[in-house]
Amino acid sequence: MALIIFDYDGVLADTITDLLHFGQEACNTLGIKHVTTADDLKSLEVMSFASYGRACEVPEHLIDAFVRICLSAFAEMRAPPPIFTGLSGVVSHLAANHTIAIVTTNSSQNVHAFLAKHGLEGFVHAIYGVDSPGSKAQQIVMARHRLSRDGMQEPVFMVGDSLSDILAAREAAVTSIAVTWGHQSLATLLRGNPDYVVSSPHSIIDIIEN
């Protein structure tokens, strides 16, 4: 039995179109003359709404407002974003024998809505969002302490699509699995020396169960 921690944006949820749209809305609202593109996300050292805002040339004193606008836009969506093809089956399969958690820089509210829409809420044991205390590495450690069985040294995996996910996994001393269908380029992911790199969702099962 393992603890598998997923990032949300770019790993489970296909949010790139929404991120670019909401980032542009935030820039427009704040009077920032910047056109958002995928390049704003591809090579970020830290994948977060705050670092996204900085990549969009938002001045530091307006970063908090940029973050609030983006999070509110996600919360106000008529329907949560789509799930990447194959991930629903992977999560339900893994949940049968393992423990699942989500650690994300999005809000817990938005993740709950996403899971409910895709019928996955019952498979996820805990969500640590931007509204939870601590850095991503600290949240991984909290999840391990809370969800791993007493007295058992269970393997822990962090599945992410960003350099910061890989670095957080290393800081928390857990195994990193980098996925190539997310927001950051393979070249950026490889800068973090992930333990594994996968290009298809089913490969996550192969790594964890073989």
pLDDT in tens, 128-143: 998 899 999 999 999 9
The per-residue DSSP string of 130-157 comes to TTSSS-HHHHHHHHHHHHSPTT----EE
pLDDT in tens, 74-94: 889 888 999 999 999 999 999
pLDDT of amino acid 75: 85
Residue 57 — pLDDT band, cuts 50, 70, 90?
very high
Q: What is the pTM of this model?
A: 0.88
Torsion of CA 168, 202, 200, 106, to 10 degrees: -40
Superfamily of domain 3-14+80-209: HAD superfamily/HAD-like (3.40.50.1000)
Torsion of CA 84, 85, 88, 93, to 10 degrees: -120
User: Which among 7-11, 77-81, 146-150 has the top mean pLDDT?
Assistant: 7-11
Nearest to residue 102, comparing CAs of 79, 78, 83?
A: 83
Q: What sign does the CA torsion over 150, 151, 152, 153 have? A: positive
Amino acid, single-letter form, for residue 7: D
Q: What sign does the CA torsion over 199, 108, 176, 56 have? A: positive
Residues 199, 93: Cα–Cα separation, whole Å: 18
Residues 58, 36: Cα–Cα separation, whole Å: 11
* Domain ranges, ordered by start, for the chain: 3-14+80-209, 16-75
Residues 105, 165: Cα–Cα separation, whole Å: 11
Share of the chain above pLDDT 90, in %: 81
Average pLDDT over residues 93-110: 94
